[in-house]
Homo-oligomer: A and B are copies of this chain.
Amino acid sequence: MIPNSTRFLSDLHELRQFGAAGVGKGVVRPAYSAADIAARAWLAGKFEEAGLPPHYDPMGSLFGLADGPSILLGSHSDTQPEGGWLDGALGVIAALEVARAAKEAGGPAVSVVSFQDEEGRFGVTTGSAVWSGSLSLEDADKLTDRDGATLAEARAAMPTASAFVDPSRFTGFIEMHIEQGPWLDEAGEAVGVVTDIVGIRDMRITFEGEQNHAGTTPMHLRRDAFQALGAFNAAINERFRNVVTPQTVWTIGHVKLHPDAHSIVPGSATFSMQWRDRDSTRLARMEEVIREAATQVAREQGVRVSFGQMLGLEPVQMDAKLRGVLEESAEQSAARSWRKMPSGALHDATNVSRHMPVAMLFVPSINGISHAFEEDTSEADLITGLEVLAGAVAQLG
């Protein structure tokens, strides 16, 4: 089959218009936002044109379904609060183009998906987590975003069906995505075939101290929630040294103080704690360090600590057969310009692996930048990635 790279690039740029940030190719299209819902309506039309009847599942994940058994391709079309134009959108449009090319070539049968809330406005890869059964719809509905909105309220704003698509109709899942890291770009390579996806843990932690006057409360009498956060951050940075590998990462990306005023000793500090690694045992050891450090800091500083619900996904190995066809196809389309590599980023493929064989394909991220307006990939690399994906699917026919 021969994918049409012009049609592929044109659709990719058209999708970028939904939530265009007006800064470079940046996009603001968080899950369930008006821009996200409009983009999915546009995608549903494209699926229809391609002869793939569109189906919104109860979470708002959008499928384009081939008749009978098929390979499932896709990713997600929602973005971070400040995202790039490719991220998950690339995998969705590449899937659409390969499905069209396969139909034109008389097979094999290809279905397409854009999962909802991969970027975790409410949880972690929420749409595929519910579809795969690792999170119940009831529990998902109770999740809240940073502003306190519930997922139940958010999904009520878009078209959804009452029924989930039966995973058994799919023979496997291949997700094409940007690397989101520096390695392919630094090496000048065009393609990465993923060996495994790291596991992730994510929770909110709150320190509650005593809100008081910033001029009249002596330092030795303060129970300052921000100072507790500072001590906690220093403690885990120190203690992780004996636990982590150079590939392990951890991040405090969200902080909310209360009442958040210059002249008031902060009464509470709520923050996000996220950590990732290829080894479940290490993830669990890091959780112990986090809980011990937070509890000790709270005791030493006379504040209370509380831990939110922990969301997480286990590390996952890619399927040997699907990996094999991707490696063969990469060698054909990008000889000596591809590598095998782990994924440091989380992807919907992790959830989907509960029900079928999964594999992933990476293209380079310029300067390793993603989750930012500056995110980009050269057109040549985008097209090479499309060809590798199409070549792999052709071998499955």
CA distance A263 to B201 in the complex (A): 11
Expressed in whole angstroms, the minimum distance between the Cβ of A65 and any Cβ of chain B is: 30
Report whether B368 and A249 are in contact in the complex, using a CB–CB cutoff of 8 Å: no
Interface of A is mostly: loop
A181: Cβ under 8 A from any B Cβ: yes
Q: How many copies does the complex hold?
A: 2
User: Looking at the complex, which of A47-55, A159-167, A253-261, A329-337 is the stretch in contact with chain B?
Assistant: A253-261
Report whether A253 and B274 are in contact in the complex, using a CB–CB cutoff of 8 Å: no
Residue of B nearest to A230 (CB): B233
A265: Cβ under 8 A from any B Cβ: yes
A211: Cβ under 8 A from any B Cβ: yes
A346: Cβ under 8 A from any B Cβ: yes
Residue of B nearest to A273 (CB): B262
Report whether B262 and A120 are in contact in the complex, using a CB–CB cutoff of 8 Å: yes
CA distance A78 to B213 in the complex (A): 15
A208: Cβ under 8 A from any B Cβ: no
Residues of B within 8 Å of A368, CB to CB, are: 212, 216-217, 221
CA distance A264 to B255 in the complex (A): 12
CA distance A124 to B227 in the complex (A): 23
**27 pairs of residues in contact across A and B, judged by CB atoms under 8 Å:** A80-B261, A80-B264, A81-B260, A180-B213, A180-B216, A181-B216, A182-B216, A182-B221, A200-B215, A202-B262, A202-B263, A211-B372, A212-B371, A214-B274, A215-B346, A216-B345, A218-B247, A218-B249, A219-B250, A226-B233, A251-B262, A253-B257, A253-B262, A253-B263, A253-B264, A253-B265, A254-B262
A residues whose Cβ falls under 8 Å from a Cβ of B: 80-82, 119-120, 146, 179-182, 198, 200, 202, 211-221, 224, 226-227, 230, 233-234, 237, 246-255, 257, 259-267, 272, 274, 276, 344-346, 368-372
